[in-house]
Amino acid sequence: MPSDKECTSHADECVRLAGLTDDLIVRDQLLDLAQEWVLTAQRARRDDARVVPLHTTLDDNVVPLHTNQDDDES
């Protein structure tokens, strides 16, 4: 999936091109496409917000699910 910046850039270009055409059908299609790019950008931002970055050291992120009782007795 493209980044939200890429999607926004595509949407801006569609709006720019829509402003240059005299063909109402093409203009409407470009504006519809721009709207789709905006929605895709919003989805990309939501997806990016869900990503949890891992630390460079894996040990910082490892949490044991349980401890072995044999380890506690030594």
Does residue 20 form part of some domain? yes
Does residue 9 form part of some domain? yes
- Say which residue, 4 or 64, is predicted with more confidence: 4
Tally of domains in the chain: 1
Does residue 29 form part of some domain? yes
Segment 47-69 mean pLDDT? 59
Structural domain range at position 2: 1-48
Distance between CA 1 and CA 19 in Å, rounded?
27
Distance between CA 74 and CA 50 in Å, rounded?
41
Does residue 70 form part of some domain? no
pLDDT of residue 27: 97
Burial 42-71 (b: 16+ CB within 10 A, else e): eebeeeeeeeeeeeeeeeeeeeeeeeeeee
User: Is the separation of the CB atoms in 25 and 32 below 8 Å?
Assistant: no
The whole-chain average pLDDT of the chain stands at: 80
Task: Tell me the pLDDT band of 23, cut-offs 50, 70 and 90.
Answer: very high
Distance between CA 74 and CA 69 in Å, rounded?
10
